[in-house]
Amino acid sequence: MRARMYGLVKRTPLGPYVNNCPPIRIGPERLYVWTHALMQTGQVPGSVVEVGCSLGGTAMWCDRMLRQSSVHKEYVAIDTFTGFVPEQFNADVALGTPSRLRRTFDYISLPAVRRSAQKMGAPDIRFIQGDICRMSAEQLPRQISACLVDVDLSQPVHAALTKVYPRLAPGGVIVVDDCPEGDDYKARIGYQRFVAEQGLEERYVLGMGVVTEPAADIDFGRLGA
Ligand SMILES: C[S@@+](CC[C@H](N)C(=O)[O-])C[C@H]1O[C@@H](n2cnc3c(N)ncnc32)[C@H](O)[C@@H]1O
């Protein structure tokens, strides 16, 4: 019955949406920052990592972009695939995140995301299911050329930066989504805590926090904070 319904929907104007197009859940200007970082680190050795991939739309789009630009790197996409971890979300409610956002991502299914990746022509993405706060850093690639941290909350942002930064290749870059001042999500607090601990400068490009490896030569031109 379910398969028949699916077949019927596929033949309506909704077809392309249910069939092939997982949404990209990052703002268009921030997708630009991420794709720009990926292209600028094309020659930097190491894997690409996205921490917080949701339905995988950005991962699939960017994995194809790299391959179609003759940049052949492993793309690793990490998520709980069950949404926010309750205690991490509660910690940010205490910092001002509205409670209504609690269930924003709890509808995701890893098998469905894998099927979309096949259909979207990005079958080689390596999906890892886990909470970045609890995950061993050993599960991450040994060397990382570029990383998108898009987990929204302060604690997993801090954990992702702490685990990824030591693995960043010379010339590599990390960008952190949801870092504008006053945002509902408190990613900025996790980013600020990490850069303060490391003695790094805070740097923002179009609402994203940026961390670069000292040898990095990434030019974000005149893009504002
Ligand atoms: C804004 S979405 C990611 C959007 C995705 N990067 C894109 O561009 O389409 C945030 C994701 O972070 C995931 N997430 C939140 N806390 C996490 C944690 N502790 N570990 C791993 N993933 C987490 C959520 O499950 C959710 O799918």
Task: Say if residue 17's pLDDT is above 60.
Answer: no
Nearest Cα to Cα of residue 69 among 45, 39, 47? 39
Q: Identify which of 97, 116, 57 has the alpha carbon closest to the alpha carbon of residue 186.
A: 97
Q: What is the pLDDT of residues 90-149, one digit of tens each?
A: 999 999 999 999 999 988 889 999 999 999 999 999 999 999 999 999 999 999 999 999
Q: In the structure, what pLDDT confidence band is assigned to residue 165 with cuts at 50, 70 and 90?
A: very high
Nearest CA to ligand 1 atom 7: 25
How is residue 182 written in tokens? 């006053």
Domain segments of the chain: what residues? 26-212
What is the CA(199)–ligand 1 centre distance, in A? 27
Q: Whose CA is nearest to atom 22 of ligand 1?
A: 79
If you measure from the C-alpha of residue 152 to the centroid of ligand 1, how many angstroms do you get, rounded to a whole number? 7
pLDDT, mean over the chain: 92
Give the CATH class of 26-212. alpha beta
Q: State both tokens at 34.
A: 């991420």
In the structure encoding, which two tokens stand for residue 62, read together?
Answer: 């960017």
Count other Cβ atoms within 10 Å, centred on residue 164.
22
What whole-number distance in Å separates Cα of residue 192 and Cα of residue 60? 29
Residues with CB under 6 A from ligand 1: 24-26, 50, 52-54, 57-58, 78-80, 83-85, 88, 105, 108, 131-133, 150-153, 156
**Residue 218: pLDDT over 90:** no
Q: What percent of the chain has pLDDT over 70?
A: 91
How much is the pLDDT for 171? 95
For residue 67, give both structure tokens: 């391959």
Q: What separation in Å is there between the alpha carbon of 196 and the centre of ligand 1?
A: 24
Best residue for ligand 1 mutational test, from 54, 78, 131 (most atoms within 8 Å of Cβ):
54
Residue 14 pLDDT > 70, yes or no?
no
